Structure 1
Amino acid sequence: MVTQTPPPSTLAGRSGQNGRGQNGRGQNGRGAEPSARQVAGRRWRSARGVVAVILAMVVIAVILAALRPSTSPQALDPTSPKQDGSRALAEILRQNGTPVSVARHADDAVRQAGPGTVMVVTRTERLTGEDLTLLSAARADLLLVRPTSFALADLAPRVRKDGPTFEDADEPGCSLRAATLAGPVALHESETYDVTGSVTECYKTEYGSSRVVQVRNVANTVTVLGSASPLTNERLTEEGNAALAMNLLATTGTGAASSVVWLVPDMPEDGAGAGQQSLGDLLPFGVKLFILQLLVAVLLVALWRSRRLGPVVAEALPVVVRSAETVEGRARLYRAGHARDRASDALRSGSRERLVPLLGLPRSSAQDPSAAQEIVSAVAHRTPYDETYVGAALYGPEPLDDAGLIALSDVLDDLERQVRQS
């Protein structure tokens, strides 16, 4: 059987571990294996930069989450004198002739409201599906303060949340009278909204989303306020906050408001309102930022540690390996993978490489498909076989089984012998 010795570069890695020397004994071409402490130290030195970056991101996210103001149970309550309460605004409205009543349940608010009434809807995360259905059928105008995604879907379906922003609002940039009279306002942290259809948008961000949106329906007007700051005792005196809050509450879509119904729903006893908040509503902004930073860090680590495939590098073998051993090792791999196609290609390629110099042809023609007919004709002229037989041997299909592969090697060996003897 005629065999071909594979090039040393393809076997450098394997032979360095399992090869034998000329004296038949195993040789270890490597030095002493590093200790576990050395390996751990090397891994730590290579990864400490990434670990430091991830820890820095965690610290920043924790700080941002800690700086986020917490919401008290009395937030936006018109009877609460606390900083996040709304007692000051309620008293100003009463002093200017607009009655303010407080409701703790959606059905009470709907009974008190009527045409010419503005209903302030706060803490929408406490509202159940039945509450939202009642509010959607109310005849009063609605002012939704930082509503959840579920509340928007039922009460203002043309408005959807886009994300938070921390920039103060400059000029309103809209025709809404309540906003144009107020001018610049200090909204601080505010939700932004994207809209569809004919909707009035005010206090837009640089990305085009709005902080205040008003939707005019057939029966009423729904105004969405992305920030609670204009209604709180702490922020009421900043910029045009008081003017914006009073103008939104003291006027309806058709004129001056006859009264204000302030809905601050109690927490449902069975906790049914908790389901009205989406996962995005429940997560603090700092947690969202931390998740985003963590995803970026994982992506960067994956790119840094990914395998970079380059060209094959030829290396000198650390030991001398007998050609018979390398051929036998490769043959076992071919047999284990049932790769008769690769084995037959290797046999035919090696035979052509050895035949073309004997035929007086250039070595480049051995692997040139356009020179196949020339090689077949030359071999057939130097042997007793016809061109069909020679072509099948040098360029034929894959053998069907191992016996056919052995028969092919015998045929190729016979062709080489005939050409050498001619």
Structure 2
Amino acid sequence: MTATARAKARSGRNVLLWCASIVGISIVLAVLAPRNTDNYLDPAGHGPNGVAALVEVLRDHGVQVELVDTVAGLSAALAGSAGPAQTTVAIGDSRLLTARGAEAVTRAINGAGRLVLLDGAPAVLDVIDPDVQVFAAGGRGSDEFAAECSDSVVRDDATVGRFDLRLIADGGATSCFPLPRTAGIDHGALLVTVPVHEGIPQTYAVGFGGALTNRYVTDAGHAALGLRVLGAHPRLIFYTPSITDQRAVDGAQEEGPALPAWLMPGLVLIGLAVLTLAVVSGRRLGRLVPEPLPVVVKASETTHSRAELYRAAQDRARTADVLRQGTLGRLRSRLRLDTSAAPDAVVAAVAAHGIPLEAARAALDGPPPDTDAALVRLATDLATLEEKVTPR
């Protein structure tokens, strides 16, 4: 086996080894990596930010809970329900919802018994009641907030000890759990109820969604509030907008099946693998090791091939320059001049050997030849010039 064949075989083995390593590491990470069950207000999330604990208690109390992540799935779930009026629709993390997506959601929930916006869902709330404003806020009440309203979901002196949003309502909406006023300024409330109108069910905009998560649901009256808000009907549809839901993200109609959830992570992994392979392959691992060439090419053959290329290109100027540079380099060495000495200095040194100055200048620094015969004469003159110059 030649050296080239061995090098190709070794390179192929390296590529296969890296590919096998990347695939193996990917499999191990896929098996050992924890599942993403800790998204905010995830109904199946058992981490501190999920609401699986509240959902399981609702199921234990006989509420039929169905989880959906697309507007089409929400519409189908309500259409398949024996009685949409006996169904509560809850919207979890709504950050992916756009204005057009929110309009699609409000059309899909037409006829439901109740709508609960666990994170305020500003996009949806703006469609349902533009008079209700949502503001980001966060805190923990030192004395806990009392309801101070007569809504049915806030009996038994329920209190809230943590909140994420504050809502300011005008018009016919009812506000509960008001925040303390400062300097006569209304800072809003933590729960706003919008009555039924124009086919939109009774809507609860919740500003204390974080209090219903697994981490805080057992504090204050959070669990009782969550059960009463979400468990008013025998059926609960929990909708969490997903990035693959085209109608939620951009309001477009779904024209085909959504892309699988693993597609983008897979493409990212493949891109990182290719980048890693390129970086590793581009590095020199260890010192350079000389290897014999598979074919020995004589210097005369290389020179002859270059001359043929110049002749085919009719590049007499480049050919003359190559001949003159070679002669200048050898004359500098022979005359013991600096390697960067100018052509004029070389001409002067050559003239000191008895060669006419003009003849030396014409040969070493004259105009390029315009014919093949002139180029041949130049090569002859340069060779004669070198023969006449003796080393010092």
Q: Normalization by structure 1: what TM-score? A: 0.44
Q: Highest relative contact order (Cα 8 Å, sep 6+), 1 or 2?
A: 1
